[in-house]
Homo-oligomer: A and B are copies of this chain.
Amino acid sequence: MKLIIAVIRPERLEAVQEELQKVLDEDDNYRITVDAVEGHGAQHGEVELFRGQAVRPRMIPKTRIMVGVNDKYVEPTVQAILRAARTESGGAVGDGKIFVTPLDECIRIRTGERGGGAI
């Protein structure tokens, strides 16, 4: 089992969810957890003006998704994210990153079930 953590552009979340739905489950019940984060990287944020001065934000709003998957779903999930999160016309700075980390155990709280079936 792996825990996949991806940082993407907020406006891409919808597309990513649609792709994940395709690979993770035939019906709507693919599982995912999302939060809003701020990132710093090669991309520079939109300059804001405040009281006549440019304010250059250090950080850019990003969306982070966390998906726990069984091993055979790792590659499809990564591919789905890549497909949907990449800016049209070949990707642009700021598209983000996918991290795959090991997952030792997964427990469904409702039932107490463990392991692959609980994902």
Contact = CB atoms under 8 A, between A and B. Distances in A.
A99 interface: yes
B3 A99 contact: yes
Contacts of A62: 33
B17 A58 contact: yes
Interface in A1-55: 2-3, 5-8, 14, 17, 29-42
A66 B5 CA distance: 11
A103 B101 contact: yes
Contact of A39 (B32, B42, B95): B32
Interface of A: 2-3, 5-8, 14, 17, 29-42, 58-59, 62, 64, 66, 68, 78, 81-82, 85-87, 91-112, 118
